[in-house]
Structure 1
């Protein structure tokens, strides 16, 4: 019986030592806190993606608008030249008569 008692006492001591040396238990992340963090992280990532998409679209539309403005300026310049030429020809015809 003495052996049996020492085994039980030894088992108790070793389990106590294992409990003392065990790593502290981490506090579990609650569902609400985890959901809130996930929602905020997803919102920030979606916002950042949308920001870069909008900036890219803005650059493309700005380049197209600039190209259209230059085309319009060239067309106005050609019309001004045609009108000046036409006015000069009308003035020459008026001088001949």
Structure 2
């Protein structure tokens, strides 16, 4: 015959029987034997042992479901982060490419300027060459001035010779003297 007991009474009865499984779980119904045993005592039927496989299965299944769900959310999060990171890397690479193109343009301009400077250096004179050219110009100028003076002296000498040969020198002196005398009378 089955008797219904309260939760506390069922726990106390289970503790008296020493059943560890019943102590963990409170049963609302317990089976009480009415037959008498060998010594005239009522024979207590042993409670049926329940295997905890269902609880274990539920725990494992819950764990697997939780791990799978967490893994799926983690995977989705990682994929989104991966896409964000690759987008940032791609934009950084494009920025770097634009910067490198600007640097290449600047390098080409610098090379062109260097080529122009090299051509100007080869065509231009150095300070030493300028000093040497200045010294040469002064020498040539001195030579030309001396030659000019020599030519003037030579021309004057030739004029003197021509005047003496033609007799103009005496007439010119006399003409000058007469002009001076006339001027003095006046």
1:69 to 81, 90, 93: 93
Establish whether residue 45 from structure 1 lines up as the match of residue 69 from structure 2: yes
After superposition, the C-alpha distances for 1:54-96 in whole angstroms (9 at most, x for unaligned) are: 0000000000000000011111111111111011011111112
TM-score normalised over the length of structure 2: 0.36
Structure 2 unaligned regions, length at least 5: 1-52, 122-186
For these two proteins, the number of residue pairs brought into alignment is 69
Q: Distance in 1 between matches of 2:109 and 2:78?
A: 46
After superposition, the C-alpha distances for 1:28-60 in whole angstroms (9 at most, x for unaligned) are: x82111111111111110110001000000000
Point out 4+ residue stretches in structure 1 off by more than 2 angstroms: none
Which residue number corresponds to residue 91 of structure 1?
115
Q: Distance in 1 between matches of 2:114 and 2:68?
A: 68
Structure 1 unaligned regions, length at least 5: 1-28
Larger RCO: 1 or 2 (CA < 8 Å, sep 6+): 2
Q: Distance in 2 between matches of 1:86 and 1:37?
A: 71
Q: Which one has a larger percent helix, Structure 1 or Structure 2? A: 1
